[in-house]
Structures are given as structure tokens and as C-alpha cells.
Structure 1
């Protein structure tokens, strides 16, 4: 009976230990990591020309990119289960801890959207909605990426409209909250070859540029005022461009930081219209909108670039542990005239694996020690029993 009791105690200890480690690594670990993140502070009462302070509303926005939900063709069931659970827990924890007003996902939501059947597409959308569920007071805005509708030569109206219907977004639109203008761009359509989708997107962008310019010159008189008579009105604030492809840059050679591309990848030259937008398309966007900030994804790594010495661009790393050991997201505080950004890192995959391995090694040593002590106790009991029989 004592031996049987000791065995059950060992079994209970093992089950309890494994459960604790599993719950910590798969659920609890996200809280102490994300709770260290905070919204960047911004002066809410800047001085006006007359010297008086005026309260300015601040918009808190969270940016992530390249979730790449695995599909039915290339996605192994365990890989899919593991990565989607990680992203779901990270996102839900971030919502609970940080409570953003709006969340932007900068494209490549799906990995196989470019060739998904109707059935597979519905399944991918269902899983996405479960993972990225959010309260009503938080808006979720999803941009299109090349894996969602295909590269330029794969994209067609059917795939694009399928995506736009699900996420209630168009290929070129201005999203405005609290006086802050966000320009949402389908960068896959910025190919410049005159294809029907490209023409439609560029025409809409040009119209938005004219409307924004008129809004910025709302006090204009004469011919300009007459030209702006029937334009759409936006807050008089330079926009923030959000898109999947980065603007043109030669490579990631100048990118630094722990989530930048690896040293062997940084000097690889980018291919225009594949890795980054073409120089022509990039110049069009900069000239038409004069953005105060550009946020993009696609490369899966972080980078900060200054275009023309006045247009900063931030490349947001992938949110999926399948693409990075250290995923992250961006937190931004925005007013109509200013912005401040900070980065929030998620638990590293290598750390989680190290915890599992360390816990397994400690548990194995404890079990071996327990068995050794149990064997010793049994041997002592046998010796005492033998001596009792001899007497």
C-alpha cells in the first residue's frame, strides 16, 4: 500500500507540473510580456499661436501585419493549430491590456487567399473572425496583401471583391477618426501597367488627393475655391498612408534593431513591384499626399526609412511566430498634427521552447530521484522483513 500510494503521488505530481508549465507557456506568458507595453505619451494641450492651450483628442491605434493564416493546401494541421493559438492569445491579451480604439492589419491576413476555393476561403474567414474577435468599441480595419488576392499577375476582380466584401474595405479609401486621416491603399494594384484594377485604384487615389488638397486649402478663394466646390471634405491634416508593400528602397541594409532582417538578408537587393513598390508608384503616393507617416508590412522584418528627408516609413514585422522568433506590433498615439509610436514585443518562440525543455529536464531529474528513493525504501523494507523472518 505505501508503494502504491507513492506511485499515485508521483503521477499526480507529474500531471500537476506538466499542466502548470503548459498553462504558463500557452496562456499566462502573454500577460507579463504585454503588460510591460504602454501607449506612447503625447502632449494633449499644445499651445496655439495666441498662447492659449487647446485640448487635442488623441487616437490610440494598434498596427500589426502578415498574420498568414495557413490554408488547406500548405498548412499542416499542427502548425496551423499552434500558430493560430499563439496569435489569438497574443491579440486577445493585447486587446484586454491595452484597449486600442482601432486596430489595423496591414495585409497578408491569409497565406493561401490567392488560390483558395470558396469552401477553403469561408473556413479561413471563420477562423480569422474567431481569432481576431473584438469588442464593439474597437474597430478592426484589414488591408489587402499579395497573399490575400495574389500578386499583380494573379489578382482579379473576383478575388479582390471577395476580400473587400468580407472586410468592408476598398482598394483606396480615407479612414478618418478624431481628425486623423489614414489613407488605406491596395498596394498590389500600384503596378502602373494600365490594368483595369490598377487604373481604378489610381483614379480613386488621384480623386482623394484632390479632395484632401482642397480640405487643406479650405480658406482658398477664387478659382481654387470654385474647383473644390463639390469635393469630399476631410480634416485639414496630412494623412498617414497604410499599405502592404513598402515604398521603394534598395534593400534593408540600413535597417537596425532586434527585429530587423538578419545580417545575411539585409543586403539582398529588393525587386520592384515584388518586394517593394516601384520608384514611380512610390513617388506618386508621396507627391499626391505628402504623408506625415507611412506604415507597411510584407517584408516580415522591421525597418525605419526616411523618404525625401521628410516622409518617415515604418515596416511592421510579421505577427506570426511561423515567420519570426520575436513577433511584435506597433502602438501609436495620433492627433491631427502629431504622432508618437512605440513597439510591443511578444514572447519569443525560443524562450517558450527553453521553458518547456528546462521544465522537462527538472521534472525528469525529480522523477529519477523519486524512483531512487522509492527503490531504497523498498530495499530497506525487504531487509527488515528478512531479519524479522530470521529471528
Structure 2
């Protein structure tokens, strides 16, 4: 009788040990996949991005060596979801993606200034005061940055409403959180931040105020009426389209539309890196991890976990043992 009990005890111990080993394997796989998909993949992808080099000609190379280069990041259309259309899982997934991408880019690329070109929020055009405050808190957490990095934000139509929806209240609410600064200068480079929603040209009060501000900036910069004539920019960067589009305006002034930074708008979000001096600039696109890559990795890991459990339960032959048998059979033949 004692022998039988001892045998059952050993069997139970063996089964417990086997189940514990299986559990450890499953936990290890889950942990490794989560670590890769939620952290490491951002470093692996963004690490491949490099700041573009400002091209210099042989004639002015000596002069250019004395000009310091400003490293600027440009991103757009983050579209933080609100309380009306924002499902909690959608918020969690997409906002975690943007937070990890932004924090990783700051750590790896060390930009000096970051510009977000509109549509920060998805529901700013109709959100209540409390919903707006909640959205702002989430934004500040996601896009936190060290004191030496400047963060400049431009209003978009989803932040203050389309032209015939926007009003002074929404604009002031936005400017209370984000500095309403229109002209930002650093290292001899002037950046003019424009509320393009107010440039309908129909003479509305908000439009007139925006045009007056731009005229004042043009006087400060000693510029010579349409916006480009006033300011005579070297480069125009904008958001809204969710895609990277380039066009040339009159006098050969290029405009580049910055892609969306969020998986909600693109499978392959990205941002623009700019190396700038007072006389020249160079731009490059930096891609973020693709959403389908992460989803495929999770699906593959789920399939691998199923195989591990089936092998442990004896419902599926071990691929390793099966390979050994096939190898022996091949050698025998």
C-alpha cells in the first residue's frame, strides 16, 4: 500500500513539474513578445534614422562650417481620441504607440525642437471643458520632453473646428494650453506658425486678426501680400493630409505635407527630420514601426503558444523529435 502511495506521489510530482515547466515556457514567450512589440521594435526601427546632412557647395563650404545646424522634428495629425468617438482599447493601443515612438525618438535622435503641425486632438472642435482638460492631460503625458527640448504646437481643424465652426472660445482654449507664439527664432532660423484654418480669405473677424498678425510678422522680418509674398519662406511644412505630399508654389517655394504620426491614420506612420541653418536645410523621413508587423508578430506568437501546449498534451508530435526521425530515415535510405 505504501509503495502504491509512493508511486502516486512521484507521478503527481512529475505532472506538477511538467505543468510548471510548461507555464514557465508560456510566460517566457509572452514576456519576450510583449517586450519586442511594445518596446524594442521602436528602438530597432527608429535607430535606422539619421539626421540629413546639409549640402554645401565648394564655393560656400568655408562659410557653412561656421553655421550651427538646428535639429528639428516635424510631426502631425496625432488625433488623440476623445470621449465621444474614442473606444478605450483604441485609445490604449494607438496612444501607447505614439508615446513609445515619441519618447524613443527623443532618446535616440536628440532633437532640439519638435513641431506638431495640427490636429493634436480628434474631438477638440466639439469637446466639453472637462473632456478637453482630460485630453490635454493625456497629451502632456504622451509628449513629455526634457526642458532643453522645445515643443511647438500649431492648431488644426480638429482642434478648433473647421473655418465656419471655429470661434474665439475654442481658439483661446487652445492657446491657453499651447503658447500662441506665431514667430519662433532659434540659431538664426525663423519659424512662422500659421493657423491655416483662419486663412479662408472671407474677411471674418478671426481671419482678419490672423492676417494682421502675419502682416506684423512680415514687418518684423523686413519682408516685402498673399501669405507667401508677405513672408517669402524658404520652405513650408504643413499637416492635415496624413500623407507626405510635396508641391511647388510660385517662385519655387516648396511645401511638404508631414505624414500622420498615428497608427489610426496610417499603417506606416512617420515624421520629418530637418537639419537647418540660416541659409540651407535638408529633410529626411523617419518611419515608425508598421502596425501590421506588430499584429503579425502577435499572431505568430499565439500560434507558437498553441503548438507548445499541443506538444505538451501529446496531441502533436514535437517538431524537434519529428525532425530527428525524418533525419534518421533519410540517413537509413
Give TM class, smaller chain: 0.7 to 0.9
Aligned residue pairs total: 306
Aligned to 1:344: 286
Equivalent residue in structure 2 for 1:204, among 188, 192, 213: 213
Deviations 1:310-366 (A, max 9, x none): 111111111010110000000000000000000100000011011111111122112
Aligned to 1:132: 143
Deviation, 1:5, is 1.0
Tell me the distance in 2 between the aligned counterparts of 1:108 and 1:375.
54
Deviations 1:107-152 (A, max 9, x none): 0000011111111111000000000000010000000000000001
SS of 2:310's partner is helix
Aligned to 1:38: 50
Alignment of 1:99-110 (within 5 A): 99-110=110-121
Aligned to 2:23: 11
The reply on whether 1:176 has 2:177 as its aligned counterpart is no
SS of 2:314's partner is helix
The reply on whether 1:357 has 2:291 as its aligned counterpart is no
Tell me the distance in 1 between the aligned counterparts of 2:250 and 2:293.
40
CA contact (8 A) 2:307 2:316 kept: no
Change (3 A) 1:202 1:191: same
Aligned to 2:128: 117
Deviation, 1:301, is 0.9
SS of 2:222's partner is helix
Deviation, 1:4, is 1.7
Alignment of 1:148-227 (within 5 A): 148-170=159-181, 173-213=182-222
Structure 1 unaligned blocks of 5 or more = 217-282, 377-391
Deviation, 1:308, is 2.5
CA contact (8 A) 2:56 2:64 kept: no
CA contact (8 A) 1:329 1:343 kept: yes
Aligned to 2:309: 367
The reply on whether 1:90 has 2:32 as its aligned counterpart is no
SS of 1:372's partner is coil
Deviation, 1:309, is 5.5
Deviations 1:271-291 (A, max 9, x none): xxxxxxxxxxxx811211221
Would you tell me which structure has more helix in proportion to its own residues?
Answer: 2
Aligned residues: CA RMSD: 2.1
The reply on whether 1:324 has 2:266 as its aligned counterpart is yes
CA contact (8 A) 1:45 1:53 kept: no
TM-score by length of 1: 0.75
Aligned to 2:326: none
Deviations 1:174-197 (A, max 9, x none): 111000011100001001111111
CA contact (8 A) 2:310 2:316 kept: no
Change (3 A) 1:48 1:375: closer
Change (3 A) 1:42 1:199: same
Deviations 1:41-86 (A, max 9, x none): 125898559x767510111000000000000111001101111111
Deviation, 1:19, is 1.4
CA contact (8 A) 2:123 2:159 kept: yes
Tell me the distance in 2 between the aligned counterparts of 1:212 and 1:309.
19
